[in-house]
């Protein structure tokens, strides 16, 4: 098999949104350059040189007026992607792929039966330990695939509406996430709580919103988190279970990790 090359294999667009990430965006971009046909960065209001750093590394940068909705920003970026596939990467992440893994990636992108892949996310915690979860980050660049949810945005629901469950595969090489180990995590936590609270006010019966709200408050109040997660589970079970809600298994895992 030929080694992966953006010139000979299905083209991959790297999709990123950023605000004041000049201190770390270079690591994220550099980690993905070896597989990228293009790197699309959408800036939502930086004042620290993020745009200049991204452009200096060859990224195409557009600006988007922030409207408190991550899906809107992601979909704006998605509209600028021209690759066959899209890999979503955050500025505090690094895509950890070896040369051998690049051959596996090329084969995965040529599988006509798949429209997306779940990728392990290894989260570095403040105590130096790593915690893993999985996220649908690699997907075909089709009009039927787009982001939903104002926060914790995902393409999973749009894929579930248009494709069978076996259209999603798994790859083993991870994305390394360093955001939880940074000093800014508390700021993001408070921002997320505000956005999730507004989302639940607008849509109180949304099981995914409740799930993410429970995950977010878990570090602050595990008992309250468990109550919210149980509400989410009840709604999931009442509205189709795992066949409808892609996060079902992750919800069970988080619930089992809550103290009794």
Nearest to 165 by CA among 221, 245, 99: 245
- Mean pLDDT value across residues 16-29: 96
Please determine, for residue 2, whether its predicted confidence score (pLDDT) is greater than 60: no
Quote the pLDDT of residue 155: 95
Please determine, for residue 9, whether its predicted confidence score (pLDDT) is greater than 80: no
Q: How far apart are CA 43 and CA 18, in angstroms?
A: 5
| Segment of 33-47, 113-127, 174-188 carrying the highest mean pLDDT | 33-47
Q: Is the CB of residue 170 less than 8 Å from the CB of residue 114?
A: no
Please determine, for residue 108, whether its predicted confidence score (pLDDT) is greater than 90: yes
Q: How much of the chain, in percent, has pLDDT values that exceed 70?
A: 94
> Whole-number mean pLDDT of the chain?
89
pLDDT digits (tens, 9 = 90+) for 176-212: 998 876 655 667 778 888 889 899 999 999 999 999 9
Choosing among 1.25.40, 1.10.260, 3.90.320, 1.10.10, the CATH entry for 185-256 is 1.25.40
All CATH 3.90.550.10 domain ranges in the chain, comma separated: 12-181
Neighbour tally for 159: CB within 10 Å: 23
pTM of the model: 0.85
* CATH H superfamily, domain 12-181: Spore Coat Polysaccharide Biosynthesis Protein SpsA; Chain A (3.90.550.10)
- Mean pLDDT value across residues 104-117: 94
Please determine, for residue 8, whether its predicted confidence score (pLDDT) is greater than 80: no
Q: Which two tokens stand for residue 177?
A: 């996430």
Q: Is the CB of residue 135 less than 8 Å from the CB of residue 90?
A: no
């Amino acid at each position: 098999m030929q080694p992966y090359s953006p010139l000979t294999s299905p083209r991959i667009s790297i999709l990123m949104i950023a605000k004041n990430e000049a201190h770390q965006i270079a690591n994220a971009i550099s980690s993905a350059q070896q597989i990228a046909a293009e790197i699309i960065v959408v800036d939502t209001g930086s004042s620290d040189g993020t745009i200049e750093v991204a452009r200096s590394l060859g990224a195409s940068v557009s600006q988007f007026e922030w409207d408190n909705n991550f899906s809107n920003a992601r979909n704006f970026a998605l509209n600028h992607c021209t690759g066959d596939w899209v890999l979503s990467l955050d500025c505090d992440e690094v895509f950890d792929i070896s040369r051998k893994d690049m051959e596996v990636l090329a084969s995965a992108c040529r599988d006509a039966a798949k429209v997306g892949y779940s990728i392990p996310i290894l989260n570095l915690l403040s105590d130096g330990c790593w915690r893993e979860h999985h996220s649908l980050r690699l997907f075909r660049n089709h009009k039927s695939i787009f982001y939903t949810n104002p926060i914790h945005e995902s393409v999973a629901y749009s894929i579930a509406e248009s494709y069978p469950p076996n259209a999603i595969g798994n790859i083993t090489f991870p994305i390394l996430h360093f955001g939880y180990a940074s000093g800014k995590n508390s700021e993001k936590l408070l921002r997320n709580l505000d956005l999730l609270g507004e989302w639940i006010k607008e849509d109180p019966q949304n099981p995914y919103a409740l799930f993410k709200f429970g995950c977010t408050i878990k570090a602050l109040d595990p008992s309250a988190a468990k109550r919210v997660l149980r509400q989410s589970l009840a709604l999931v079970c009442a509205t189709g279970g795992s066949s409808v809600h892609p996060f079902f298994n992750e919800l069970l895992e988080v619930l089992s990790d809550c103290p009794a």
